[in-house]
Amino acid sequence: MSDIDTSRRTFVVGAGLATAAAGASPALAQEAANAVGAPTTPAAAAYPKPPFPPQRQPWPGLASKMTPRPDHGETSYKGSGKLTGKRALITGGDSGIGRAAAIAYAREGADVAINYLPAEEPDAREVIALIRAEGRRAVAIPGDLRDEGFCRKLVEQAARELGGLDILVNNAARQQTKPAIADISSADFDATMKTNVYAPFWLTKAAVARMTAGAVIVNTSSEQASDPSEDLVDYALTRAAVLNFTKSMAKQLVSKGIRVNAVAPGPFWTPLQVSGGATQEKLQAFGSTSPMGRPGQPAEIAALFVAAADPSLSYSTGQVFGSTGGGGQPA
């Protein structure tokens, strides 16, 4: 039996139990509603479940061309001033989780600079417009993070145009599925390492030189850090490195008053998946093996990026904020 068949069966059986329990007693109805795969909120009930239609895009992919299109919180995220006056740089801010973080930060009162590859310009324009719609300053800085010189210039430009830098979100990542280690070329490995490990190192180094007490660095890791997939060897390796980097930098920078936290997503519906990050078979069943039976939408993790940078959580550093749909998290 496939994961898709299992998910369908779980959904049908769960729905039947909920109906039967509703006729029996409120207590039983509540118990059935809390069954595996049941929606956790009214919004979550509307999010798509697998199977998803076959689709493929050249790397790095565009959210605007995905089916179904991801929800980044464009219409749903409501801010409450948690980041008022802050100035943030978010890599990979054009789509996926980075886009959701950028929208949330702007609605929490922050000015935001986003970095992305030139090929992602159509998605980036949408994000810039959303940030400006909140009355916040928006800065678009395209470029390739695999270049150390560009990483330095990126931080310099963001700090200059925002008037300073209070938050760095190291979110951009490269993920390409390969069935065996023999299929991972040195060029592939180098590209993944430079995007996912070197770039956060270079960016953090440049940002710390400009940050003052109260600043925060937020790194995106993954459940792959502790539960790696067999066909994502190089990607999973980098997610573990980022988790370790987060914890060591948190200890190193605490004396400067700079906090460092990480967010560790599980399966999320982003362009990573349709641009080589998953096989077509996995893509169509994406998220079906999670306890919720579906992938997360970027909108569902945005608040964790806010929490990781929230000044009111001033005792939280070296922390890992997980969002895996019930699948656990790296420790």
Quote the tokens at residue 169: 């979100």
Classify residue 296 by its DSSP letter.
B
Amino acid 5: pLDDT: 38
Amino acid 37: pLDDT: 65
Write the pLDDT tens digit of every residue in 49-91. 999 999 999 999 999 999 999 999 999 999 999 999 999 999 9
Cα 181 to Cα 140, 178, 185, 187, 229, distances in angstroms: 36, 7, 8, 13, 12
Pairing of strands 167-170, 216-220: parallel
Q: How large is the average pLDDT for residues 6-15? A: 35
Cα 23 to Cα 10, 42, 178, distances in angstroms: 20, 21, 50
Q: How large is the average pLDDT for residues 307-327? A: 97
Amino acid 78: pLDDT: 97
Beta bridge partners of 112: 88, 138
Q: Which CATH number fits domain 61-323: 3.40.50.2020, 3.40.50.300, 3.40.50.720, 3.30.2140.20?
A: 3.40.50.720
Instruction: Say which range, 25-29, 120-124, 263-267, has the weakest mean pLDDT.
Output: 25-29
List, in sequence order, every beta strand (DSSP E) within the chain: 87-91, 111-116, 138-142, 167-170, 216-220, 259-265, 320-323
The answer, as to whether pTM is greater than 0.85, is: yes
**Given a cut of 80, is residue 15 above it in pLDDT?**
no
Amino acid 2: pLDDT: 39
Q: Which residues are catalytic?
A: 235
Classify residue 319 by its DSSP letter.
-
Q: How large is the average pLDDT for residues 106-124? A: 98
CB count in 10 Å sphere of residue 282: 19
Query: How crowded is the C-beta side of 321, counted as CA atoms within 13 Å?
Result: 21
> Going edge to edge, which strands form the sheet with 87-91?
138-142, 111-116, 87-91, 167-170, 216-220, 259-265, 320-323
Instruction: Classify each residue of 106-134 as buried b or exposed e, where b means 16 or more C-beta atoms within 10 Å of its C-beta.
Output: bbbbbbbbbbbbeebeebbebbbebbeeb
Amino acid 68: pLDDT: 97
% of the chain surpassing 90 pLDDT: 85
Amino acid at 323: S
CA distance 164 to 128: 19
Quote the tokens at residue 252: 């190193």
Q: Convert 204-272 into a string of H (helix), E (strand) and C (coil).
A: HHHHHCCCCCCCEEEEECCHHHCCCCCCCHHHHHHHHHHHHHHHHHHHHHHHHCCEEEEEEECCECCHH
**Given a cut of 70, is residue 235 above it in pLDDT?**
yes
Quote the tokens at residue 112: 């935001």
Per-residue confidence at 328, pLDDT binned at 50, 70, 90? confident
Amino acid 270: pLDDT: 98
CA distance 33 to 82: 33
Phi, psi (5° rounding) for residue 148?
A: -60, -40
